[in-house]
Structure 1
Amino acid sequence: MTSAAQDPQTGRLDALVVEGRTVRDRALLRARGELVHGCADTMARALAVLPADIGRVEVDMRGVSFMDTSGLRFLDVLGEYGRRRGVPVALTGWQGQPRRVLELVGLDGTDPLPAAPFAGSPARSASAVARERAEQLRLLRAEIAQLRHAIDSRPVIDQARGILMAAHSCTPEQAWDILREASQRTNTKLREVAGALTASTAPGGPAPPEAVRAALRAAVARHVPPAHSDR
């Protein structure tokens, strides 16, 4: 049994793939890919074809590499299946960024379903659950935005590190320390310091602001022994 979703941004047919088999009264499922838009529908299709006499569902999440807010709906689908059928549902093997997201919204990174908001005490009001879910979504969206910003920033930072390594015969770690110190000294975002340095190496490129140049010189003097620096 295999079920797959299509990623609306890339068009890939394997944004999430759910494979599985049954052993007596247990359904052993394995998820691979990303918990993005469409992942809940993929899991719903996988659950829909399980035999009616299934007594337990176990989902191996080790193959999941990324999770955004769609992952909460993915959990909802599994939780609802367990409540409707009266069977335990366990999701194990969370790691990397998906596990970090679970922990960010207050869920158990080992097995999130028992602690998920939709599985809370009946005494909790619907409005309280809604408020908690809204706050969790806000935090999760902020985390995803930070991750995407870090991914976008990485190329220019790596390029700036390469420039420093070539100019001062320093190590990657020393180049990182130089950029970070210059950023702190000038109260400028590290990506902006890296961008100014990178732009200055292009033909006719503008020199970095004087404050940034001074901070870079001071950082180089601190982190690169004179014998290893060309300046």
Structure 2
Amino acid sequence: MGFAEEHQKWLDSHKKRRTGERLDRLVRGHGHGEKMFVERVWWPIFGHMDDLHPEYEVSDWRGRPYFVDLVWKPGQVKFAIEIKGYGPHVQQTDRTRYRQELNRETYLQIAGYRVVAVPYDDLEAAPELTISLFKSLLAPCMLKNAEGEGRPYTRLESDILRLAARWNGSIRPVDLVNELGVNPRTVKKLMNSLCVKGRFRPILAPGSNRVCRYEYIHSFMEDELW
């Protein structure tokens, strides 16, 4: 099925499990911005909506119910994703609501959520940027889950993948020697293994057969990351 069918199926499954205010909030709250994020960012990265919850109810610091636009909970990890338009969150707000919004975000962090604010305008004009940022943000979590499921990465290989995601995909052998505290031979062996596994591409120095750096290959759709 394509996105439209999967999106409707996903919404229907959540509606069936809700009643009262939770159901009403889902019907009213999952609007254009939230759907655009799922379609233009989430779907291209994951290809499914497993563990993603729309209009997820949490309690704020006062004990009052609050609905987060989207919450992703794959196991022990919790991300609170808020789609923020310039009008509702800047132009049309007042000091009280602005203060409450910031306090809510801080409280969500205390409650164990990673809070991610997504600009609505970027979803319209530059979804590729949001996709790139989300890939780098979620990579460590994907790798942590993979380690716990017996996936084919050693501890040092997983460390290298995390570093590559953090360093925007380009990594030099000398950086790994300094960061990991291992010798150059070990780095070469690890990188050869990761190249064979399709996670890096070696880049040669101009006019030389010496590898000067490695290019990280994103692969968020591969089974071993889940």
Please indicate, yes or no, whether the TM-score normalized by the shorter chain is above 0.5: no
State the structure with more CA Rg: 1
* Larger RCO (CA within 8 A; separation ≥ 6): 2
